[in-house]
Structure 1
Amino acid sequence: MFQQRSPLQVTLHVWHALFMREAMARITGDRLGWAWVFLEPIAHLLIFVGLRYLMGSVKYINGAEFMPWFIVGMVTFLLFSVVMNRSINAITSNRALFAYRQVHPVDTILIRAVLEGLLKTLVFGLVILGAMIFGISIVPVDAIFAVFIWFVMWCFGFGIGLVLSVPVTSTQEFGKFVNILNMPLYMLSGVMFPIQFLPREVRDFILYNPLFHAVELMRSAFFPGYQLMQGISLQYLVFWTLSLVLLGLMLQIRFKARLLAQ
C-alpha cells in the first residue's frame, strides 16, 4: 500500500523537482548555458575596469580601494538584478506544470530565485578568489553582516519578482519596461561611482533608493573603516524588503486563479 504523503512532503518534492528542472534548463537553455553565469560579472569588470583609469588619481573611495569597492558593489547589484529578472518570467516559463494541482505559481518563482541566488553566491566566491590571485584583497571584515546583507538583497530581488510577475504574466510587454529600468537602477545604486561626489539635492533623492543602502552596507561589511554616507539605514532596507515580499505574496494569493488561467 502507498503511504499518504503529508502536505509538507508534497511541497518539498515539488520544490525538488522544480529545482532540478530549472537547473537543467539553465544548462541546456542556450549555447552558453551556465558559462554565462560566470561570464556576466567578468564582462562587467572588463567594461568598467577603465573607470579606474578614467578617475585618474582617485585610488580610494570612502576608505576603500577603487577596484574592490567596485567589485563588491557590482556583484551585490547583480544578485538583485538577476533574481528579479529571472523571477518575473518564472510563471510563464513553467506554465505547462500547472496541470499538476500540487504546483503553484509562487513555487516556480521561489525555486528560480533560489537557484539564481545560489549561482550568484558561487560566482561571488569565485570572483573573490580570482581577485586574490591578481593581488586584489576582497575579504569581509564582518563576514556575518556581509552574509546577512547578501540574504536581504536576495529577498529584495525575490520580493520584486513576486510583485512584478503578476503584471508581466498578464501583459508580456510590461516585462520590456522592467528591463529598461536595469541600467538606471545600476547608475542610481552607487555601483560605478560614489554618490558622495554628486550635489546634495541629488544625493538626497538617491537615498530613497533602498538598493543604494544595500550596496553601501555590503561595502561597509568588507572594508574596515568604510565611511558610510549620512542617511544610510539598515532599517530602511529591511522595511522595503519585508514590505515587497509581503506585498508579493498577497498579490500571488489574490491573482492566483488569473495567473493559472493565463
Structure 2
Amino acid sequence: MAADSTFASLRAAWPIQRRVLGALLMREVLTRYGRHNIGFLWLFVEPMLFTLGVTALWSLTGASHGTSLPIVSFALTGYSSVLLWRNMPSRSIGAVKPNLSLMYHRQVKVLDILLARLMLEGAGATISFTVLSLIFISIEWIQPPEDLLLVIAGWAILAWFGISLALLLAALAERSEIVDKLWHPAAYLIFPLSGAAFLVEILPKNAQDFLLYVPMVHCTEMIRDGYFGSKFHAHYTPSYPIVINAVLTLLALAQLRKVSREVIPE
C-alpha cells in the first residue's frame, strides 16, 4: 500500500516537474542565445566550431598521436567527448545566484535550475557530435560506427559523469568561492589526462595503469571502441566510471540539499 501511494505521488508530481524544467529550459535558451542571428542554433553550432577547429588543426599539422587511425575520427571522438564533460561544470558553477528570484516560486528548486542548464549543455554537445558524425560519414571522411550501441553507452556514461561532477561543484561553489577559481585551471590540467588526445594502448604499462584511474578515459575508450574498435585494442571497464558517477551523484545531492536550505530568494 505504501509503495502504491509513493508511486501515485511521483506520477502526480511528474507533470509539474516536466513543466518547470521546460519553462527553465526555454528561459535559459532565450537568456543565453536570444532571438537574433541564428538564435538557439548556437546551442550546437558553437561546440561544432570548436570540434572542427581542433580537427582542422590536427589534420594540418599531421598529428598522429601515436596511432594510424584517421585523424578526423580521432579528433571527433576525442574533442567532442571533452566538450561534453568539461562545459557542464563551467555552466553550473555560479548558476544559483543569478536565478534567486525564481526561488519565490514554490515548485522551482535549486536542482531544477542546475538540471535545466545541464540538459541544455548536454543537448548541445550531443547534437554537435551527431551532426558532425553524419556530415563526415556522408562525405566519406570517416566510416560509420562499428557498434552504435557501444558509442551511445559510452556517451551516456560520460554525460552522467559531467552532470554529477557539475552538480557537486555547483553545490560546493555556493559554499566557497574558491571552487570557481580552481575549476577553470583544473579543467585545463585534466584535459590531457582525459583520453581525448591519446589511446591507452600506445602508452607504457605504468602510464596505462595510472590513467585508467581517470573515469573519462574509460568513456572515451568506449566511444572509440564503438566507432573503430577493430582497428585498435581498447582498454576500459564500464563498471568503474559507473561507480564513480554514482558516488559523485550521491555526494552532489547531499550537498545540494544543504544548499537548498540556505538559499534566500531575492
**TM-score band, normalised by the shorter chain?**
0.7 to 0.9
Q: 1:170 aligns with which of 137, 162, 175?
A: 175
Out of 50, 63, 74, the position equivalent to 1:43 is 50
Residue 21 of structure 1 aligns with an amino acid whose one-letter code is R
| Residue in 2 that maps onto 1:189 | 194
Aligned residues: 255
**In 2, distance between residues paired with 1:125 and 1:172?**
36
Correspondence for 1:160 among 144, 162, 165 = 165
Q: Which amino acid aligns with 2:46?
A: L
- Choose the corresponding residue for 2:20, options 14, 38, 44: 14
How high is the sequence identity, in percent, across the aligned residues? 23
Q: Once the two structures are superposed, what CA deviation does each residue of 1:104-145 show, in whole Å capped at 9, x if it has no partner? A: 101111121111111211111221133235531152211122
2:222 aligned partner: 217
Q: Post-superposition shift, 1:27?
A: 1.2
Q: 1:247 to 1:228 in 2, by over 3 A?
A: farther
- Which residue of the partner structure matches residue 6 of structure 2? none
Q: Give the match's secondary structure for 1:140.
A: coil
Cα distance, 1:208 vs structure 2? 1.0
Tell me the SS of whatever aligns to 1:90.
coil
Gapped regions of structure 2 (runs ≥ 5): 1-10
How much does 1:248 deviate?
Answer: 1.0
Residue type of the alignment partner of 2:215: P
Shift of 1:164: 0.7
Letter in 2 for 1:42: L
Q: Cα gap change, 1:142/1:53 in structure 2, threshold over 3 Å: closer, same or farther?
A: same
Unaligned runs of 5+ in 1: none
Change (3 A) 1:223 1:93: farther
- Aligned to 1:94, the other structure's residue is in SS state helix
Contact 2:94 2:174 in 1 (8 A): yes
Give the secondary-structure state (helix, strand or coil) at the position aligned to 1:233.
Answer: coil
For residues 100 and 194 of structure 1, do their structure 2 counterparts lie closer, same or farther at Cα, with a shift above 3 Å needed? same
Q: Which residue of 2 aligns with 1:149?
A: 154
TM-score norm. by structure 1 comes to: 0.84
8 Å CA contact retained: 1:59, 1:65: no
**Does the 8 Å contact 1:170/1:259 carry over to 2?**
no
- Opposite residue 18 of structure 2, the aligned amino acid is L
Letter in 2 for 1:26: R
Amino acid at match of 1:9: P
2:29 to 23, 26, 30: 23
Q: What residue identity is the alignment partner of 1:250?
A: A
CA distance in 2: counterparts of 1:23 and 1:99, whole angstroms: 21
Cα distance in 1, alignment partners of residues 199 and 30 from structure 2? 39
Task: Give the letter for the 1:150 counterpart.
Answer: W
Aligned partner of residue 96 in structure 2, secondary structure:
helix
Greater helix fraction, Structure 1 or Structure 2: 2
- Cα distance in 2 between the residues matched to 1:178 and 1:154: 18
- Contact 2:93–2:166, Cα closer than 8 Å, also in 1: yes
- The residue number in structure 2 matching 1:255 is 259
- Give CA-to-partner distance per residue, 1:220-239, whole Å, 9 cap, x none: 01114143355x21111111
Q: Is the 8 A contact 1:219 1:226 kept in 2?
A: no
Q: Structure 1 205/113 Cα, relative in aligned 2: closer, same or farther at 3 Å?
A: same
Change in CA separation of 1:33 and 1:93 when aligned onto 2, cut-off 3 Å:
farther
Instruction: Note the C-alpha offset of 1:103.
Output: 0.8
Which moved further from structure 2: 248-257 or 6-15? 6-15
RMSD over equivalenced CA pairs, Å: 2.8
